[in-house]
């Protein structure tokens, strides 16, 4: 196997909790991301799934260098992004672009769509001639299924689905190699979701994009991704190729997540299922050892004593003392 | 078949706005029997939420016009005066909402909010009401209920807040609970807990449940009957298993084909419904779905279809004869193309 | 919470110290008449002026003057002597305080009650004729300068020069301890004049927040429970919308207790505001310091009270 496009090693993000007005001292930390490692191969789509507080969005924002990691390495094409500054960081950012969840709040309402889409070109000093830039923007609009003549309209004149297309056009304007999509369809109606998902798949095929796809909806992730990493409280519980993960979950949390998804498929509804009790614990004070042991049906003494390592077992990698057999 | 608990007949709701009159709900009829569950499913702007709020008079204002009838236990909720309707709210019909954090008052303790709900409909000594509130919190699965009465909503987790909302809704033993997107703001494992709770309560308390949602999966797991809404109208109504195994309306087909699934072939392309819903201010003539429908004929752009009984217990609003629609679905369900289905739907010319 | 208050009180001391240092420096740096000459009177000899200069340490450096001043406060509770009145500043200030409290507190009660009532009614009957009328009047009330409104009020209703002589006019102030009825009679016009702008502002503020709050999800929940509309508005709506009012009220009252200068001057009321005004006119340093410190004390104190009350009103706010 060739070198991965992205290699994340032991990535950590702790948000400090401070007390005091003048002299702030740290009294604790929200361990949003607490030692996450994974690879993404060129052209692959990796899914990050998990519930509130699992750290998937924080991970995404660190990969795009919107926030700095507390520690860990983010190697993109062999170069560590965590240490980059200034010019080098700007160049790296060209390669990594992001699509955000809320198409209503992630576009500046006072700017015309054309100028929103051309902004990355301007920032990176590409196509400095107005005409060329405009032509490129209209190409991009056409590419994502927007009418290029609507170049001069404002975001509020578009529907939710169209706005998300604008967000996608902006993200691909610089022809990035890695696209990070953070819950790109959660705010959209179901019939519109499919339009955006298909668009992302098409773009991936045409541009050879590598995608990190973050979502809480397991059926959407199943549709989009080649491999899936399941996160729980800042750690990866399981990472596996798509088919394996959905057919044979190894980690009890993955199993519970899958069982919890309500599904309109005849035969799946009404099945007996093991429901997880309780809520996700706070990432400011996660359970010791295995973080899932407080809600796990299979937990025993070792689970609250020793942290399980992410271990490879035929294709799947799971962090569990009692992995489920296929 | 027993008498319906609530019978909605030809309900319409329109709002007077600066842009014109928005017809949010346009002649909707459905009914529910005691202890039954009905799912109302639709996308944003389909009128599903407005319809639910209107039943409790929560959309009443000078800018709103409501017509039609909603007969609940012998009286009409639409024409009822405010004071009589107030006696129904929370007592005959209770309601829970999408976002439990914003739906609870941030400044009052959870227990006090439940006690208030108990006392408004029957004068109850504070002590008795408090004991009852604790009992209700226990019933909805909140551990250590007596102590949690004194918590504020922000001290609860998302799932516990929705449980508290449900406890409050149950406080006067309503015959009907309307749940408007009750799990949309929750994580999937918590959603499963809440759906199971609602189902258990419905059975144990013999309380009818109307669940309003955009999520076909939620409907599949909680409802016995399902009504699919589009542009302010019900386009199809059927028992839940029938709806998912033999959907009859092209819009329902579109919905089912556009969602990714947890089982079956993974790389099957998603088939989105092209375009978007029509304006509710100037509704197109003919069928409101015709512009997005792959099977629409000239007639569909002229004649407005009515919701009509097709098979036993099923209704749909489509001009294409239902036998031909029934014949088209199996191929579509298997991932067949719309072109092939169109041949079946149009029949031999 | 106790620790929080303790820390805030400590801050109060630090801030008051800073405020007095700044006032001292301003007084020292800005050109003004020689305070010693002012104190000595019109026909004083240069020698007398020198004596006074020495007696009040006016011949010393800024630093020395500051240290004398703070030593006096800390060791003897002595806030200095007013050059003009030849009386201890503390005594002067305290003798003027009741008049200012009378004006400020009375007006505050008036504007709070009327502002809140008008705000609620306007919000509930939004777009009604009543709403439009009161909100237009409120705009006028906010825009009208206090001294102009005061003079108009005197011209219309004062018992000496008024067209319809009803209430006590300028200079009719009597301490409440001496003649409560005369006190009340003299206070009515100042109260109303001072309250108008605040009431107008509060009603508009409350109307705005209440309209916003009435659109919240929890109001819909309250209605869905079957609560009477009055309870929905008062217990659920106003309860939330009142927090910014409480904040504004605390700060406004605190600021006024430091001296309601314009009203005190128009109605010739012997309060802190007049005292400060006169002190500034006569470059009476220690008196200026005294009134500034008092005003700072009230403003900082009001801020603390507001923060504490806020935590009580909104349980989501907790201070460590």
Neighbours of chain B (3+ CB pairs under 8 A): A, C
Q: Which residue has the higher pLDDT, A205 or A2?
A: A205
Tell me, yes or no, whether B57 lies in a domain.
no
Residue C143 pLDDT greater than 70, yes or no: yes
Count of CB contacts below 8 A, B vs C? 68
B322: region left, alpha or beta (phi > 0 left; psi from -120 to 50 alpha): alpha
Q: Which residue has the higher pLDDT, A25 or B308?
A: B308
Stretch among A5-9, B30-34, B240-244, B330-334 having the lowest mean pLDDT: B330-334
Residue C317 pLDDT greater than 90, yes or no: no
Token pair for B340: 């092939």
Q: What is the dihedral of CA C119, C120, C122, C126, to 10 degrees?
A: 130
Residue A261 forms contact with B (CB below 8 Å): yes
Please tell me the distance from the alpha carbon of residue A50 to that of residue A254, in angstroms, as a whole number. 9
The crossing angle, in degrees rounded to 10, of helices C272-281 and C285-313 is 140
Comparing alpha-carbon positions, the chain C residue that sits nearest to B152 is C315
Residue B53 pLDDT greater than 60, yes or no: yes
Rounded mean pLDDT of chain A?
88
Residue B19 forms contact with A (CB below 8 Å): no
DSSP state of C238: I
Q: What is the pLDDT of residue B348?
A: 62
Comparing alpha-carbon positions, the chain B residue that sits nearest to C218 is B103
Q: Pick from C217, C236, C315: which is nearest to B102 by CB?
A: C217
Q: Read off the pLDDT of residues B254-278 as tens digits, 9 standing for 90 and up.
A: 998 888 888 877 777 788 888 888 8
Q: What is the pLDDT of residue C165?
A: 84
Residues of C in contact with B120 (CB under 8 A): 225-228, 231
Comparing alpha-carbon positions, the chain A residue that sits nearest to B256 is A264
Q: What is the pLDDT of residue A101?
A: 85
Q: Which segment, B173-187, B273-287, C275-289, is predicted with the most confidence on average? A: B173-187
Q: What is the pLDDT of residue B332?
A: 86
Question: Taking CA B128 as the corner, what is the angle to CA B127 and CA B133, rounded to the nearest 5 degrees?
Answer: 95
Helix (H) or strand (E) holding B268: none
**Cβ atoms of C1 and C319 closer than 8 Å:** yes
Please tell me the distance from the alpha carbon of residue B118 to that of residue B112, in angstroms, as a whole number. 10
Residue C7 pLDDT greater than 70, yes or no: yes
- The closest alpha carbon to C272, from C286, C290, C285, belongs to C290
Going from N- to C-terminal start, the domains of chain A cover 226-264+274-326
Residue B342 pLDDT greater than 60, yes or no: yes
C-beta atoms of B154 and C221 within 8 A: no
Q: 3-state secondary structure string, chain A?
A: CCCCCEEEEEEEEEEEEEECCCCCEEEEEEEEEEEEEEEECCCCEEEEECCCCCCHHHHHHHHCCCCCCCEEEEEECCEEHHHCCHHHHHHHHHHEEEECCCCCCCCCCCCCHHHHHHHHHHHCCCCCCHHHHHHHHHHHHHHCCCCHHHHHCCHHHCCHHHHHHHHHHHHHCCCCCEEEEECCCCCCCHHHHHHHHHHHHHHHHHHCCEEEEEECCHHHHHHHCCEEEEEECCEEEEEEEHHHHHHCCCCHHHHHHHHHCCCCCCCCCCCCCCCCCCCCCCCCCCCCCCCCCCCCCCCCHHHHCCCCCEEEECCEEEECCCCCCC
**pLDDT band at B45, cuts 50/70/90?**
confident
Residues of C in contact with B88 (CB under 8 A): 226
In this prediction, residues B132-158 reach a mean pLDDT of: 93
Helix (H, G, I), strand (E, B) or coil at B259: coil
Helix (H, G, I), strand (E, B) or coil at B212: strand
Token pair for C238: 């106003």
Helix (H, G, I), strand (E, B) or coil at B253: helix
Q: Which residue matches tokens 């390592």?
A: A309
Helix (H, G, I), strand (E, B) or coil at B10: strand
CA dihedral over B78, B82, B88, B94, signed as positive or negative: positive
Q: What is the pLDDT of residue B88?
A: 96
Residue B26 pLDDT greater than 60, yes or no: yes
Residue A83 pLDDT greater than 80, yes or no: no
Residue C320 pLDDT greater than 70, yes or no: no
Token pair for B237: 């109504």
Q: Which neighbouring-strand residues pair with C90?
A: none
Q: What is the pLDDT of residue B349?
A: 53
How many Cβ atoms sit within 10 Å of the Cβ of residue C166?
A: 14
**Which among B95, B103, B104, B176 is the top mutation candidate for probing chain C, defined by the most C β-carbons within 10 Å of its own β-carbon?**
B103
Residue C39 pLDDT greater than 80, yes or no: no
**pLDDT band at A199, cuts 50/70/90?**
very high
**Cβ atoms of C79 and C286 closer than 8 Å:** yes
Q: Strand pairing of A45-49 and A79-80?
A: unpaired
**Cβ atoms of B113 and B168 closer than 8 Å:** yes
Q: Read off the pLDDT of residues C196-209 as tens digits, 9 standing for 90 and up.
A: 999 999 999 999 99
User: What domain count does chain B have?
Assistant: 2
Q: What is the pLDDT of residue B128?
A: 96
C-beta atoms of B221 and A269 within 8 A: yes
Residues of B in contact with A191 (CB under 8 A): 43, 254-255, 258, 272-273
Who's near B245: CB < 8 A, 6+ residues apart? A266
Q: Which neighbouring-strand residues pair with A210?
A: A178
Q: What is the pLDDT of residue C63?
A: 85
Residue A25 pLDDT greater than 80, yes or no: no
Q: What is the pLDDT of residue A308?
A: 92
Helix (H, G, I), strand (E, B) or coil at B37: strand
**Cβ atoms of B208 and B35 closer than 8 Å:** yes
C-beta atoms of A279 and B271 within 8 A: no
**pLDDT band at A225, cuts 50/70/90?**
very high
Residue A74 pLDDT greater than 90, yes or no: yes
Q: Computed over its alpha carbons, how large is the radius of gyration of chain C?
A: 24
Domains in chain C, CATH or no CATH each:
2-76 (no CATH), 93-313 (1.10.3720.10)
**Cβ atoms of A253 and A230 closer than 8 Å:** yes
Q: What is the pLDDT of residue A21?
A: 53
**pLDDT band at B313, cuts 50/70/90?**
confident
Please tell me the distance from the alpha carbon of residue A231 to that of residue A225, in angstroms, as a whole number. 15
Q: Which residue has the higher pLDDT, A74 or A102?
A: A74
**Which among A103, A190, A247, A281 is the top mutation candidate for probing chain B, defined by the most B β-carbons within 10 Å of its own β-carbon?**
A190
Q: Read off the pLDDT of residues A240-269 as tens digits, 9 standing for 90 and up.
A: 999 899 989 999 999 999 988 887 765 554
Please tell me the distance from the alpha carbon of residue A30 to that of residue A53, in angstroms, as a whole number. 10
Count of CB contacts below 8 A, A vs B? 133
C-beta atoms of C218 and B99 within 8 A: no
Residue B124 pLDDT greater than 90, yes or no: yes
Burial class (CB in 10 A: 0-12, 13-18, 19+), A126: middle
How many Cβ atoms sit within 10 Å of the Cβ of residue C84?
A: 17
Phi then psi for B333, rounded to 5 degrees? -60, -35
**pLDDT band at B38, cuts 50/70/90?**
very high
How many Cβ atoms sit within 10 Å of the Cβ of residue C39?
A: 23
Q: Pick from C217, C231, C315: which is nearest to B97 by CB?
A: C217
Q: Which neighbouring-strand residues pair with B315?
A: B237, B309
Tell me, yes or no, whether B183 lies in a domain.
no
Q: 3-state secondary structure string, C45-84?
A: CHHHHHHHHHHCCCCCCHHHHHHHHHHHHHHHCCCCECCC
Residue A1 pLDDT greater than 60, yes or no: no
C58 HSE (CA, 13 A, CB side): 25
Q: What is the pLDDT of residue C12?
A: 87
**Cβ atoms of C260 and C193 closer than 8 Å:** no
Task: Name the residue range of residue B165's domain.
Answer: 101-171
Stretch among A234-248, C69-83, C104-118, C267-281 having the lowest mean pLDDT: C69-83
Of B171, B201, B228, which residue sits at a domain end?
B171
Burial class (CB in 10 A: 0-12, 13-18, 19+), B35: middle
**Which among C221, C230, C231, C233 is the top mutation candidate for probing chain B, defined by the most B β-carbons within 10 Å of its own β-carbon?**
C221
Tell me, yes or no, whether B159 lies in a domain.
yes
C-beta atoms of C223 and B58 within 8 A: yes
Q: Read off the pLDDT of residues A110-141 as tens digits, 9 standing for 90 and up.
A: 999 999 999 999 888 887 777 888 899 999 99
C-beta atoms of A191 and B258 within 8 A: yes
Q: What is the pLDDT of residue A279?
A: 80
Q: Which segment, C26-30, C64-68, C103-107, is predicted with the most confidence on average? A: C103-107
In this prediction, residues B220-224 reach a mean pLDDT of: 91
DSSP codes, B62-116: TTEEEEEEEEETTEETTTS-HHHHHHHBTTTEEEE-S-HHHHS-TTS-HHHHHHH
Residue A314 forms contact with B (CB below 8 Å): no
Q: Which residue has the higher pLDDT, A104 or A51?
A: A51
- The closest alpha carbon to B127, from B108, B105, B149, belongs to B149
Please tell me the distance from the alpha carbon of residue B252 to that of residue B270, in angstroms, as a whole number. 14
Q: Read off the pLDDT of residues C82-136 as tens digits, 9 standing for 90 and up.
A: 877 788 999 999 999 999 999 999 999 999 999 999 999 999 998 889 999 999 9
Please tell me the distance from the alpha carbon of residue B320 to that of residue C56, in angstroms, as a whole number. 104
Question: Taking CA C318 as the corner, what is the angle to CA C314 and CA C320, rounded to the nearest 5 degrees?
Answer: 160
Residue B52 pLDDT greater than 60, yes or no: yes
Token pair for B70: 């909603």
Token pair for B41: 């499913």
- The closest alpha carbon to A78, from A6, A179, A9, A8, belongs to A6
Q: Read off the pLDDT of residues B209-220 as tens digits, 9 standing for 90 and up.
A: 999 999 999 999
C89 HSE (CA, 13 A, CB side): 23
C-beta atoms of B103 and C316 within 8 A: no
Who's near B26: CB < 8 A, 6+ residues apart? B12, B47, B231, B232, B233, B283
Who's near A151: CB < 8 A, 6+ residues apart? A112, A113, A114, A134, A137, A138, A141
**Cβ atoms of A278 and A294 closer than 8 Å:** yes
Q: Pick from B217, B241, B260: which is nearest to A222 by CB?
A: B260
Q: What's the gap in Å between the CA of B117 and the closest CA on chain C?
A: 6
Q: What is the pLDDT of residue A14?
A: 92
- Angstrom CA distances, B188 to A241, B157, C165, stand at 22, 14, 74
CA of residue C66 relative to chain centroid, distance: 27
**Which among B219, B221, B240, B243 is the top mutation candidate for probing chain A, defined by the most A β-carbons within 10 Å of its own β-carbon?**
B221
Question: Taking CA B118 as the corner, what is the angle to CA B117 and CA B122, rounded to the nearest 5 degrees?
Answer: 120
- Angstrom CA distances, B260 to A195, A264, B256, B330, stand at 12, 11, 9, 18
Looking at chain C, list the stretches that DSSP marks H as alpha helix, in order from N- to C-terminal side.
2-29, 35-40, 46-55, 62-76, 89-124, 129-143, 146-157, 180-213, 217-224, 229-231, 239-257, 261-266, 272-281, 285-313
Please tell me the distance from the alpha carbon of residue A239 to that of residue A245, in angstroms, as a whole number. 8
Q: What percent of chain C has pLDDT over 70?
A: 98
End-to-end CA distance of chain B: 42
In this prediction, residues A286-314 reach a mean pLDDT of: 89
Q: How many helices (H) and strands (E) does chain B have?
A: 13, 12
Residue B294 pLDDT greater than 80, yes or no: yes
């Amino acid at each position: 196997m060739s070198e991965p496009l992205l290699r994340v090693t032991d990535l950590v993000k702790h948000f400090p909790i401070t007390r005091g007005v003048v002299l702030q001292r740290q009294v604790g930390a929200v361990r949003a991301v607490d030692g996450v490692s994974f690879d993404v191969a060129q052209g692959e789509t990796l899914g990050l799934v998990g519930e509130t507080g699992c750290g998937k969005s924080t991970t995404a924002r660190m990969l795009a260098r919107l926030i700095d990691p507390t520690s860990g390495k983010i190697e993109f094409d062999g170069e560590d992004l965590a240490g980059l500054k200034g010019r080098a960081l700007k160049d790296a950012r060209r390669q990594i672009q992001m699509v955000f969840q809320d198409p209503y709040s992630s576009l500046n309402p006072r700017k015309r769509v054309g100028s929103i889409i051309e902004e990355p070109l301007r920032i990176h000093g590409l196509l400095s001639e107005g005409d060329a830039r405009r032509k490129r923007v209209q190409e991009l609009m056409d590419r994502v299924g927007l009418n290029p003549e609507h170049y001069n309209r404002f975001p509020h004149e578009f529907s939710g689905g169209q706005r998300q297309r604008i967000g996608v056009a902006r993200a691909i304007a610089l022809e990035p190699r890695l696209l990070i999509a953070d819950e790109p369809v959660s705010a959209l109606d179901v019939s519109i979701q499919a339009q955006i998902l298909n668009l992302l798949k098409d773009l991936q095929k045409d541009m050879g994009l590598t995608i990190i796809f973050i979502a809480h909806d397991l059926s959407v992730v199943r549709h989009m991704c080649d491999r899936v990493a399941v996160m729980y409280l800042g750690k990866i519980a399981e990472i596996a190729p798509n088919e394996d993960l959905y057919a044979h979950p190894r980690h009890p949390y993955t199993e519970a997540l899958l069982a919890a998804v309500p599904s309109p498929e005849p035969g799946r509804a009404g099945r007996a299922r093991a429901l997880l009790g309780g809520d996700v614990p706070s990432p400011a004070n996660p359970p010791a050892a295995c973080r899932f042991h407080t809600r796990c049906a299979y937990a025993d003494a070792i689970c609250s004593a020793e942290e399980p390592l992410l271990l490879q077992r035929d294709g799947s990698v799971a962090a569990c003392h009692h992995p489920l057999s296929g | 078949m027993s008498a319906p608990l609530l019978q909605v007949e030809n309900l319409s709701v329109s709002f007077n706005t600066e842009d014109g009159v928005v017809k949010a709900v346009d002649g909707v009829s459905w009914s529910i029997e005691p202890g039954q569950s009905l799912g109302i499913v639709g996308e944003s702007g389909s009128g599903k939420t407005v319809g639910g709020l209107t039943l409790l008079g929560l959309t009443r204002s000078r800018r709103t016009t409501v017509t039609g009838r909603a007969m609940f236990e012998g009286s009409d909720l639409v024409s009822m005066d405010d004071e009589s309707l107030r006696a129904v709210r929370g007592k005959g019909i209770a309601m829970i909402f999408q976002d439990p954090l914003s739906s609870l008052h941030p400044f009052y303790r959870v227990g006090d909010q439940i006690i208030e709900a108990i006392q408004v409909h029957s004068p109850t000594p504070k002590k008795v009401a408090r004991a009852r509130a604790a009992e209700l919190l226990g019933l909805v699965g909140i551990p250590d209920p007596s102590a949690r009465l004194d918590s504020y909503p922000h001290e609860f987790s998302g799932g516990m807040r929705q449980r508290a909302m449900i406890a409050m809704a149950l406080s006067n033993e309503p015959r009907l609970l309307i749940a408007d997107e009750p799990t949309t703001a929750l994580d999937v494992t918590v959603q499963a807990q809440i759906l199971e709770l609602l189902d258990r309560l419905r059975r144990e308390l013999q309380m009818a449940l109307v669940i309003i949602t955009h999520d076909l999966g939620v409907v599949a797991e909680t409802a016995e009957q399902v009504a699919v809404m589009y542009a302010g109208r019900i386009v199809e109504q059927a028992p839940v298993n029938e709806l998912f195994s033999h959907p009859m309306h092209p819009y329902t087909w579109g919905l089912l084909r556009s969602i990714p699934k947890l089982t079956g072939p993974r790389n099957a392309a998603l088939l989105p419904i092209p375009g978007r819903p029509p304006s509710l201010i100037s509704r197109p003539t003919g069928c409101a779905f015709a512009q997005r429908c792959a099977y629409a004929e000239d007639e569909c752009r002229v004649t407005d279809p009515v919701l009509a009984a097709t098979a036993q217990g099923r209704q749909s609003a489509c001009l294409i004869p239902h036998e031909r629609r029934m014949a088209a679905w199996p191929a579509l369900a298997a991932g067949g193309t719309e072109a092939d289905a169109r041949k079946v739907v149009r029949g031999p010319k | 919470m106790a620790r929080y208050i303790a820390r805030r009180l400590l801050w109060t001391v630090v801030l008051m110290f800073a405020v007095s240092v700044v006032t001292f420096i301003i007084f020292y740096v800005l050109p003004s008449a020689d305070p010693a000459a002012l104190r000595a009177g019109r026909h004083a000899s240069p020698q007398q002026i020198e004596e006074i200069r020495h007696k009040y340490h006016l011949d010393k450096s800024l630093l020395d003057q500051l240290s004398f001043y703070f030593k006096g406060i800390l060791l003897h509770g002595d806030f200095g002597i007013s050059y003009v009145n030849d009386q201890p500043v503390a005594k002067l200030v305290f003798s003027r305080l009741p008049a200012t409290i009378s004006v400020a507190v009375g007006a505050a009660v008036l504007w709070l009650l009327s502002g809140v009532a008008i705000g609620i009614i306007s919000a509930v009957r939004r777009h009604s004729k009543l709403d439009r009328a009161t909100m237009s009047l409120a705009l006028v009330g906010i825009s009208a300068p206090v001294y102009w409104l005061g003079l108009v009020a005197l011209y219309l209703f004062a018992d000496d020069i008024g067209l319809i002589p009803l209430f006590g006019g300028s200079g009719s102030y009597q301490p409440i301890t001496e003649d409560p009825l005369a006190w009340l009679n003299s206070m009515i016009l100042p109260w109303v004049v001072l309250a108008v702008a605040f009431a107008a502002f509060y009603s508009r503020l409350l109307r705005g927040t209440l309209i916003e709050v009435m659109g919240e999800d929890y109001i819909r929940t309250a209605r869905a429970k079957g609560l009477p509309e009055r309870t929905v508005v008062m217990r659920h709506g106003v309860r939330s919308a009142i927090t910014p009012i409480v904040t504004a009220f605390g700060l406004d009252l605190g600021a006024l207790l430091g001296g309601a200068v314009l009203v005190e001057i128009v109605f010739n009321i012997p309060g802190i505001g007049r005292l400060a005004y006169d002190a500034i006119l006569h470059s009476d340093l220690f008196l200026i310091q005294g009134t500034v410190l008092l005003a700072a004390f009230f403003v900082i104190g009001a801020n603390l009270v507001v923060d504490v009350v806020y935590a009580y009103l909104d349980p989501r706010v907790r201070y460590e």
